[in-house]
Chains A and B, each alone.
Chain A
Amino acid sequence: MIDDSKPIFLQISELIENDIISGTLPEESQVPSTNEFAAFYRINPATAAKGINRLVEEGLLYKKRGIGMFVAQGAPARLRSNRREHFANQFIMPLTAEAAKLGIEMDELLSMIKSTSAT
């Protein structure tokens, strides 16, 4: 949900991005309207519009006049490759830092990851 870490319009873009990546919003599916977003998250409609427009500018969404917003072809793939680039910084680094703090060796860490994802 919405928090204070960054501008709300950015958070709205990211929420939509997440839904596109996870498949909740498949290619060519319709995205909720600005006012629906505003009402759902209790945010200003202008802010919601800004978050959506940002994705339109990036070509991830496109507008059908008089109908609404839709997920563009290839949007999930593009988003995935973007996210992969940031994966190391965002997830691996804090993980290794914390592991180092606790004295967890690399081998141990790897086997922990394996066993966790196996379950």
Chain B
Amino acid sequence: MSETPAIATRALSKTYKDVKALDNVGLSLAPNRIYGLLGRNGAGKTTLMSILTGQNFADHGTAEIFGHAPFEHDPTLARLCFIRESQKYPDDFKVFQAFHAAALFFGNWEEELAQDLIRAFNLPVKRRIKKLSRGQLSAVGVIIGMASRADITFFDEPYLGLDAVARQIFYDRLVEDFAQHPRTIVLSSHLIDEVANLLEHVIVIDQGRIIIDAEAEELQGAAVTVTGGAQKVEEFIAGYPVIHRDALGSLSSISIRARLSEEQRDRARAQGLELTPVSLQQLVVRSTLNSQKNQEQTTERQAIK
């Protein structure tokens, strides 16, 4: 893989007053893949994306897009598209005028796709953007992102206010268009279950730190919940890293990070233990909670010192 990464960051840090928005972030994203940038609200997703698109500045570290620092570099910026979740539009703009502007700046703009999506989302193009509902506003962002066909497209929580049908339209069209026109897509989301199957690679950020940076297939089936009699469950999970424990009377339900072999599964079944897969969403939630617990413990230790 000597190919220039689409996105590369080294030791990227950014602090707002007393909040660490980004803490020593090092990433390398290969071109033409779909990435998931997951994490809670306020974890640092938007800050990271706005630094990557030259809209914001890091305190330390470097960010490169196809080997170039994006800041004020028009040829590099022209390859990016980043519509924020809270994107502002000129007050006097009508919907079609925003698309008109986007067609001006994005060299690969695909008007047919835009029109198709406008119909699918049932978007009133002659209405002022100011007057749109939250969902319609999200749809404008999604359409610009999709039709821009930019080399790197960032979708920042693109589904806010969109109903289930509209979200499905978005996911369907994304898969369809990506198959025809592969490009680098960074999908920032906290609705993880909905996007899990689209992702090739998963990056989880929490309190500005990258806590997971792994191929999606490494995460699928990488954890399992074992449920059954407390004694038997404890015996079965001995030696595996535990990510979560639940207990109900003598019943125990413990999630462990493990990829079980067929033999192990058979053994569990024979012992009357129930095995259920841990979804990506659960895995991320558990990892996030654990990382926060660790963080608090470290802070406490430091406070004691």
Contact = CB atoms under 8 A, between A and B. Distances in A.
Please tell me whether chains A and B touch each other in their complex, using a CB distance cut-off of 8 A: yes
Given A43-B197, A86-B262, A93-B269, A6 B220 contact: yes
A90 B263 CA distance: 10
Interface stretch (B144-152, B205-213, B273-281): B273-281
Given A7-B220, A46-B200, 13 more contacts: A4-B221, A4-B277, A8-B220, A35-B179, A44-B175, A44-B197, A44-B216, A45-B179, A47-B197, A90-B262, A93-B266, A93-B270, A97-B272
A57 to B, nearest CB: 16
B33 A46 contact: yes
B167 to A, nearest CB: 11
A9 B270 CA distance: 28
A87 interface: no
Most buried by B among A6, A8, A9, A101: A8
B175 A43 contact: yes
Contacts of B171: 42
17 contacts: A4-B277, A6-B277, A7-B218, A8-B197, A35-B180, A39-B179, A41-B197, A42-B171, A42-B197, A43-B175, A44-B198, A44-B216, A47-B200, A47-B217, A86-B262, A89-B262, A94-B270
Contact of B175 (A39, A93, A101): A39
Nearest to A94: B269
Interface of A: 2-9, 34-35, 38-39, 41-47, 50, 86, 89-90, 93-94, 97, 101
B280 A45 contact: no
Nearest to B193: A4
B172 interface: yes
Given A42-B172, A44-B197, A4 B270 contact: no
B7 interface: no
Given A42-B171, A97-B272, A6 B221 contact: yes
Nearest to B217: A7
Contacts of B172: 39, 42
Interface string B180-198: 1010000000000000111
Contacts of B236: none
B175 A3 contact: no
A104 to B, nearest CB: 15
B199 interface: yes
In the A-B complex, the 9 residue pairs with the closest CB atoms = A7-B217, A6-B221, A5-B277, A35-B179, A4-B277, A4-B279, A45-B179, A43-B197, A7-B220
Contacts of A34: 179
Contact of A44 (B200, B263, B269, B278): B200
Given A34-B179, A42-B175, A47 B272 contact: no
B197 A7 contact: no
Interface in B139-159: none
B179 A38 contact: yes
